A and B are shown apart, each in its own frame.
Chain A
Amino acid sequence: MAGFLANFSNVIIPVIIFYIVAYGLINKVQVYEEFIGGAKEGLKTVVGILPTLIGLMVGVGVLRASGFMGFLGGLLGNLTEKVGIPADIVPLTLVKMFSSSAATGLVLDIFKTHGTDSYIGMLTSILMSCTETIFYTMSVYFLAAKVTKTRYTLSGALISMLAGLLASVVLAGMVV
C-alpha cells in the first residue's frame, strides 16, 4: 500500500501536465501563449501574498522564539500524544479553522523543527491538504446570502474536519 501511494504520488503530476497540454492542442488552443498568460497571473498571486507571509511568519517566529509555543505545546501534548497526535498539531488544527495563511506560518515552523519527511511533517502535510478554513468560509459565504442561522453547517464541517484529522493520523503512520 505504501509503495503504491508513493508511485501514484510520483506519476500524477506528469500525467496531469501531459493531459492538459494534449487536450489543449486537440482543441486548437494556443497552449504556449495561454500558459505564459496564466503563469503571469500565478506570479501576481505569489507577489500578492508575500506581505501576508512576511507578517505571519514573523508572528509565528516571534511566538516560537519566545518559548511560548513550547509552553503551550507541553500543556496540550500530554493529552493528545496518547492518541498519536503530536503536540504541535493541536494549535495547527485550531488555527486552520480560522485562517489558512496563519496555519501556513505554523506549518513552516513544524517543517523547520521536525523536517518534512518525519511522522509529524507528513501528518502536517496531509492534514493541511484535507482541511479547510471552516469559520472563514462560513462567514464569507453566509454573508453573501444574508443568512444568520447556519443550522447544521458547523456541526457537519467539524465532523468532516475530525474525519480528515483521523485519516491523516492513519495515513501518515502508513507512509512514514
Chain B
Amino acid sequence: MLNYIWALMILIGVVYAAVTGNMEAVTDAALGSAGEAVSLCITMAGVMGLWMGLMRIAEKSGLIAGLASGIQPFLSFMFPRIPKKHESRKYIATNFIANILGLGWACTPAGLKAMEELAKLEEERGNPAYAKDGKEGLRGRAASNEMCTFLILNTSSLQLIPVNMIVYRTQYGSANPAAVIAPAILATLFSTIIAIVYCKIKDRK
C-alpha cells in the first residue's frame, strides 16, 4: 500500500514541478525534508524514552495487568456471547489496554492473537467456514460479530494520551504542546461511543 502512495508522491511531485517550473523548490524540499526528519527524531527520542520507561514500570508493577482485569465487565458488555473463561478475552483485554495507553508495539501482537482466538471460537461453535478440514479457504470466511466489534473498536482509536502529537507540536514551536490532550480525550471518547452504539445495534440482529 505504502509502496504506491510513496511512489505516487515522488513521481507526481517531480512531474508537476517540471510542468510548473518549480524544480528548484523541489530540490530544496527533498534535501531539507530529509534533514528535518532527523531533527524530529532527536526531539521524539526524549519523549519516547520517557514514555516507554514509565510504561515499563507500569508493566512490571502489575498496573497494566490490573487494568486488563479491570475492563472485564466492559468486555462482558461488548462481547456477551464469548464464554467467561475463553482465551480470547485475555488478548482482547491486553489489546484494548495497550491501545488506551498508546503502546503500539503491544497492541498488534495481542490483537492478532485475539483474532486467532476468535476464529477458534467460531470453530468451537461449529461454523463450517472455520472447520479445520482443509477446505476452509474455499468457503470464504465471514467475520463473526465479535470480530466486527473488536475491529471497529480498534479502528475507532482508543488512545487516551496522544504522545506522538505532543512531540510533533513541541518540535514545531507550539506554545502549549499538551493543550491537545483534553480535546483529544473527548474526541476519542465521542468516536468510541459512536462505535460502541453502532456495534450494539448491529450485534443484536
Contacts and interface: CB of A to CB of B under 8 A. Distances in A.
B126 interface: no
Contacts of B71: none
Contact of A23 (B63, B108, B191): B63
Interface in A1-22: 4-6, 8-10, 12-13, 16-17, 20-21
Contact of B142 (A57, A107, A147, A172): A147
Per DSSP, chain B at the interface is helix
Contacts of A58: 10, 29-30, 33-34, 37
B84 interface: no
Interface residues of B, number: 98
Contacts, number: 362
Contact count band on A? 35 or more
Contacts of B168: 104, 107-108, 111, 116, 125
B191 A130 contact: yes
B164 A104 contact: yes
Contact of A160 (B62, B112, B156, B177): B156
A171 to B, nearest CB: 4
Interface of B: 1-2, 5-6, 9-10, 12-14, 16-17, 20, 22, 25-26, 28-30, 32-34, 36-38, 40-41, 44-45, 48-58, 60-63, 105, 108, 111-112, 115-116, 118-119, 136-137, 140-143, 147-148, 150-152, 154-157, 159, 161-162, 164-165, 168-169, 171-184, 186-188, 190-192, 194-195, 198-199, 202
Interface of A: 4-6, 8-10, 12-13, 16-17, 20-21, 23-24, 26-27, 29, 31, 34-43, 45-47, 49-50, 53-68, 71, 95, 98-99, 101-102, 104, 107-108, 111-112, 115-117, 121-122, 125-138, 140-142, 144-153, 155-157, 159-161, 163-164, 166-168, 171-172, 174-175
Given A66-B26, A131-B157, 5 more contacts: A31-B57, A116-B169, A142-B115, A142-B151, A149-B141
